[in-house]
Amino acid sequence: GAGVSQSPRYKVAKRGQDVALRCDPISGHVSLFWYQQALGQGPEFLTYFQNEAQLDKSGLPSDRFFAERPEGSVSTLKIQRTQQEDSAVYLCASSSGTINNEQFFGPGTRLTVL
Amino acid sequence: AQKVTQAQTEISVVEKEDVTLDCVYETRDTTYYLFWYKQPPSGELVFLIRRNSFDEQNEISGRYSWNFQKSTSSFNFTITASQVVDSAVYFCALSEAPSGGYQKVTFGIGTKLQVIP
């Protein structure tokens, strides 16, 4: 497809489990963003990649969160030792440039930690 | 720090009514961008509009119109003759001039719009 895709769409994890969330951006898009959206809130920035370089990870809540984009296309957000407060929708967005470009969002992964 | 305030958390209107969604922003930059996104129940954020801080012209796109006023730091969104398909959560967002080579977007809390048939 032509849009941003994310998998899985839904993930249920037991507290303490590790999870990995995948994002397939639009082909050729340089920029990739991860956001966390808690229930009833707006998306909050987690991290930014420009090609394979992670230029900003200031929004990652703790060192349990780790993101990578090794080949400058697909990205994975990993959460280790999940906690209940990690329950949220994780959104991925990509854009063709680095500035002044529309961000195209994926459908998100809804993570529920029991 | 940049901030976006959407004071209306939920709005209900009857189909065909006009509705305005308010957005007030705070930024210290003179160069910035404002956005509106729509999030239908499916969850995917849909881009509606982007304006830069130097362009205060109001914009109309079909039933949608936007009123940007720097004097009051507002970027309000009006839907004319609302339809049931307009029911969604609408987010106003702000990004400041790029630093480090990219733009970080700050979203408001969102306004949930329900259009009743």
Whether residues A98 and B102 touch (CB distance < 8 A) is answered with yes
Strands B32-39 and B88-96, sheet pairing: antiparallel
Asked if B47 has any chain A CB less than 8 Å from its own CB, the reply is yes
E strand residue ranges, chain A: 5-7, 10-13, 19-24, 31-37, 44-50, 53-56, 65-68, 75-79, 88-95, 104-105, 109-113
- In this predicted structure, the answer to whether residue B106 has a pLDDT above a threshold of 60 is yes
Q: In which region does residue B86 sit, left (phi positive, over 0), alpha (psi from -120 to 50) or beta (all else)? A: alpha
Whether residues B104 and A103 touch (CB distance < 8 A) is answered with no
Asked if B77 has any chain A CB less than 8 Å from its own CB, the reply is no
Contact (Cβ atoms closer than 8 angstroms) between residue A33 and residue A93: yes
d(CA A2, CA A25): 9
pLDDT in tens, A9-23: 999 999 999 999 999
Closest chain B residue to the Cα of A56, Cα to Cα: B100
Q: What are phi and psi of B40, to 5 degrees?
A: -70, 175
pLDDT > 70: what percent of chain A? 97
Among B44, B50, B51, B52, the residue to mutate for chain A (most A Cβ within 10 A): B44
Please tell me which residue, B105 or A114, carries the higher pLDDT value: A114
Residues of A with CB under 8 A from a CB of B: 31, 33, 40-45, 48, 50, 55-56, 89, 91, 93, 98-100, 102-108, 110
Contact (Cβ atoms closer than 8 angstroms) between residue B24 and residue B74: yes
* Sign of the alpha-carbon dihedral angle for A72, B1, A91, B5: negative
Whether residues B101 and A105 touch (CB distance < 8 A) is answered with no
- In this predicted structure, the answer to whether residue B1 has a pLDDT above a threshold of 80 is no
* Burial class of residue B19 in the structure, from the number of CB atoms within 10 Å of its CB (0-12 exposed, 13-18 middle, 19+ buried): buried
Q: What are phi and psi of A84, to 5 degrees?
A: -60, -35
B110's tokens: 């969102």
Residue B64: pLDDT band with limits 50, 70, 90: very high
H/E element, B20: strand B19-21
Strands A109-113 and A10-13, sheet pairing: parallel
Nearest chain B Cα distance for residue A51, angstroms: 12
Closest chain B residue to the Cα of A4, Cα to Cα: B44
